[in-house]
Structure 1
Amino acid sequence: MRTASDISQPESLVLRPHRMQFVLDELPALAVCCAGGIYGGLEDMPFPIAGVAVFLCLSLVLLYRFLCLCRIRYRIGSEQLVCERGLLVRKVDYMELYRVVDFQEHQSLMQQLCGLKTVRIFSTDRNTPRLDLTGMRRKDDIVPLIRSRVEYNKRKKGIYEITNH
C-alpha cells in the first residue's frame, strides 16, 4: 500500500475483490450444487437426472457469478474513485473524491474468518451515494488512503464542511 504522502502523484491504485469472497457469497448455492452432483451420481436413487440437472444449471450460474466477481475493479485515482463491473454488459461508476463524506468498514463472521472486509463509502454523488468495496483484505488500509486523497481534493477545490453541533 502507498502512504498518504503519495496522494499528489497521479498514479491510480487498482483493487480487486479477493476470490474467497465468491465462496462466502455463494456458499448455499455451492452446497446445493455439490449435493445435486452427488445425488445424480448415486445408483438406485429416484430421479437421478434431476440431480444432474440441478448440478449443471447451478454450475453455469456459479461460473457466471464467479466471472462477474473477477471482472470487478476499483481504481482509486488522484481525483476519482472508479468502479468497473460486469461481464457481458460493463458498467463504470465514477465518484469524485471531493464528494466523499464518510466511510465504514464491515466484516461478517465469515469475512472475519477469511481475513476479508467490506469498505463502504458514502458520498453526496446523486448516481452513487453509496459504494461497497467488497472482498478487500483486512490488512489493507484502504480508508486512510482514500481519506487522505479526499482531504487533498477538498482543499484543492476549496470545499469546506460546515456543521451544526
Structure 2
Amino acid sequence: MKCSACDAELPADAAFCHKCGASLSTGAGKSAPAASAGGPPAGKSGRGPLPFTPAHGDDQEEMLWQGQFSKLAMLGSWIAGGVFTVIAIVVGLVAGFTPGAWGIAAGVIVLVWVGLVLRLLYLQLSLHYYLTSQRFIHERGLLWREVDRIETIDIDDVGVIQGPVERMLKIGSIRLRSSDATTPEFLIQGIEDVRRVATLIDEARRKERRRRGMYIESV
C-alpha cells in the first residue's frame, strides 16, 4: 500500500502516513492541517519565538520540554582543569622555576581556564533542544543556525548515557535511534534531569504512534 500524497510504502491497515502525516481513511490523501501564522510562546529562556510553527486544529502541537547544554555537564572538565593547575604549581615549586618559567606556567594555566569558559559559553549559546507532541527539534550554531527535526513517530528507541558523577548530578546524554534516513542516530548531550526528559520523549513517541494507529515496538 502506498500513500497517495508522498508515495511512501505503508502497512495495509495504516490510518495515517508515517512520513507526511496524510490521512488514509478517506482515500483522498489529505495533507496535515496547515501551520498557523503565529509562532508558539517564547521558551523558558526568553529567547523569543521557537524555530518552528506549530500545527493547529485536530493536530494541535504541544510544547512538552525545551532545554540546552547544562553547565553541570562540564564538571569533569572543571575538575581536570583544577588538577592540572595544582600539578603545574607543585611541579614549579619542586623544580624551582625561574620567574620566566613561572610566567609561562601561569600563561598556560590561564589559557586552559579561558578555553574551558569559552567552550561552556559556546555550548550553552549554540545548542538548544525542543520536544513537542509531534517532533524533536535540535537547533545549533551561533552565527549560522542549523535546525534538525525528527518526527516523534519515527523515534524507535530512547537511551540514557551517564557516568558515575553524572548519576549523582542527574545529568547525562540521551541517545535517540530513529527510522529517519537523515538522522538514524542522534546524541543529545548535557541534559539536566536526564531520565525525566528521556521518559518525556519516549511517552511522546508512544502517544503519537497510538494516535496514528501504528504498532508500538517494545523497547
The alpha carbon displacement at 1:20 in A equals 1.0
1:93 corresponds in structure 2 to 148
> Given the alignment of the two structures, is residue 65 of structure 1 paired with residue 119 of structure 2, yes or no?
yes
Q: Counterparts of 2:139 and 2:82 in 1: how far apart (Å)?
A: 26
Indicate the SS of the match to 2:63.
Answer: coil
1:56 corresponds in structure 2 to 110
Equivalent residue runs for 1:66-81 within 5 Å = 66-71=120-125, 72-81=127-136
Look at both structures and tell me which one has the larger radius of gyration over its CA atoms. Answer: 2
Q: Given residue 73 of structure 1, which amino acid in structure 2 is its aligned partner?
A: H
Q: Counterparts of 2:122 and 2:181 in 1: how far apart (Å)?
A: 25
The alpha carbon displacement at 1:99 in A equals 1.0
1:95–1:27 distance in 2 versus 1, CA, 3 Å: farther
1:128–1:31 distance in 2 versus 1, CA, 3 Å: farther
TM-score normalised to structure 1 length: 0.73
2:71 corresponds in structure 1 to 19
Equivalent residue runs for 1:135-146 within 5 Å = 135-138=190-193, 141-146=196-201
Name stretches of at least 5 consecutive residues in structure 1 with no aligned partner.
1-7
Q: Counterparts of 1:11 and 1:101 in 2: how far apart (Å)?
A: 20
Q: Counterparts of 1:149 and 1:38 in 2: how far apart (Å)?
A: 51
The alpha carbon displacement at 1:123 in A equals 1.0
Which structure dedicates a bigger proportion of its chain to helix?
1
Q: Given residue 201 of structure 2, which amino acid in structure 1 is its aligned partner?
A: I
1:9–1:92 distance in 2 versus 1, CA, 3 Å: closer
Aligned residues: 155
1:106 corresponds in structure 2 to 161
Name stretches of at least 5 consecutive residues in structure 2 with no aligned partner.
1-59
The alpha carbon displacement at 1:69 in A equals 2.5
1:25–1:158 distance in 2 versus 1, CA, 3 Å: farther
Shifted more, 93-102 versus 78-87: the winner is: 78-87
* Higher relative contact order (CA closer than 8 Å, sequence separation 6+): 1
Indicate the SS of the match to 1:126.
Answer: coil
Per-residue CA deviations over 1:37-83 (Å, capped at 9, x if unaligned) read 857x97x6231122122123223321221112212221001221111
